[in-house]
Structure 1
Amino acid sequence: MRVAAVGALVLVGAAPVERVIVVGRPVATTINGVAGTLLVDPGAPSMPIVSRAYADRLALKPGMFTIRWLIGPVVLPVTTAVERINLGRGEQKRRIGWVERPYRDDVDGAVGPGGLPDNVVRFTLRAPQAGERTVTLPMLDAGGLLGGSVGLFARIDVEGEPVRIRFDLNQPHTLTNAGMALTLARVHAGTLAEARRSVPIVFGVVRPVRTMTLARPLAVGPLSITRLDVRTGDFGNADGIASTTAAADPDEIVVEAKGKRDRSRDRITLGSDALARCSAIVFDKPAKQVRLTCA
């Protein structure tokens, strides 16, 4: 099956050149001259990640660095090497990674907006609707030595601390880790449902979650979040958060955290439930801004 590159250049006045990506459609690419398809995904890493099958077709040889991708307690080794890659703007030498599990079964890999050479990347989610507004949020990478490879995030502040917001249309429900859930329970009167279920996170890794309800909504740009799934055992422990079946006043929730947590790991991933109201996500790298247009 031939897959055409999905992308366009839009030039408006003196504004930076903007590349338009239709969410969910693969983009034709080549690595070392060998054709493949990558998903340009707002939640994907900035370092292109390809499947083991594509790496084998390319006969890639491991470089000096192997990265450990932590998905809660699950460690996913990412083998890396510097190769020639063309993402539709000419061939460049870039570090790429490959893993044993596919990002998605119908593509050879994925890359986030930070991995494209374009200064401004616009993801179109659906047609614009009446009554939409655009809110600008600061843009961050993941921080740390390899933060630029992990991906790009929007930033909000909760209790004066930065919280990274990821966008993932592959997730049906908005999601957070246990450490962030502790803060949401305290600041936004969050309570957890008793029922537990398992959901896929990325690369086929499945983690247990419980649903949290916020009595005081969390604002993320134009969006108001009142429900989200919590990975209760990932980067913290959320077992001390009150249950939604408890009779206690939600303003009097007692949260018991186990051990010292690293707040730099706090993340909220907006899933398709929240993003269904949005028509576009724009990553403006020179301005270090994320612009979210939603009804």
Structure 2
Amino acid sequence: MKPDSHRFCVAPMMEWTDRHCRSLLRLISARAFLYTEMMTAEAVLYGDRERVLGFDAAEHPVGLQLGGSDPAKLAEAARIGAYWGYDEINLNIGCPSDRVQSGRFGACLMAEPALVADCVKAMVDAVPLPVTVKCRIGIDDQDAEESLDGFIDTVADAGCSTFVVHARKAWLQGLSPKENRDVPPLEYDRVHRLKARRPDLELVLNGGLASLAETEPHLAQLDGVMLGRAAYADPYLLADVDRAIYGLDQPPLSRAEVLNRFMVYVRRELNKGVRLNAMTRHVLGLFHGQPRARAFRRHIAENAHLDGAGIEVLEQARDVVLGHAGGRSAAA
């Protein structure tokens, strides 16, 4: 991978960053690093691999995020991910949900750095791909200075040189996963201090970033940034990533061009039996802040889920938002 490959990343998000979402985002930015939803090692080992791991070659660069705490299972899942063509294997040490905790993976593993190191070493030994870790700055009553330094040092010694750090603690008791994304205070300075102490590591900042402008002061001190919900709600914010972050001169596609190209993808997937609303749900924010965006979303929401819904739903929604003759009456 390119040395600046993690300069701008889109976060792995459960039920959001599936292959259809990633195909849309890749039309907007050629260089943003994308991730799958978190897949448990067991799902990779025993599930329907085409459903769990399948992706379009156009999505590269794309990383597979795994969840688990069994080094042998994670190593085998990593091998399978490498075989399927992913560019990176990322280990989730940040998810705070009860279901994840009960399976002994996610953020609760920040209390077990030695086990995380064993998992990372097993994966590093198993695959030629980079093995990275996404974590929090701490959990519950941990001291965010001492515990984070110890965690990072231990896991780095096992062969991980890239960490995505969500700059909030995770509270495993008393807060829901949604609250854990908003309630614990953001401590960006803690990640900056970590970089100053470990300049040899590649550190990517995650948490609360909502625009490219907000990333600028962090990119001056860190190796990369990762946006999550903001990039999903307003995917076209990625349109300036290639120029502003990676220095590419090629102008981005317009929103209309993105939609038209995505419709080519949708037609192909419909022919494979994919339901329309599995794909259109990701395009609802494409015209965020634009005239007639609400009518665009409404038309898709009211029609894409219907039995037999086809590409005409997107064609009509496109006419609505672009103000074509047929669309003006539909938008009224």
Q: Do these two structures clear the TM 0.5 threshold for a shared fold by scoring above it?
A: no
**Normalised TM-score (structure 1):** 0.28
Q: Structure 1 or 2: larger helix share?
A: 2
TM-score by length of 2: 0.25
- Which has more strand, going by share of residues? 1
Higher RCO structure, 1 or 2 (CA under 8 Å, sep 6+): 1
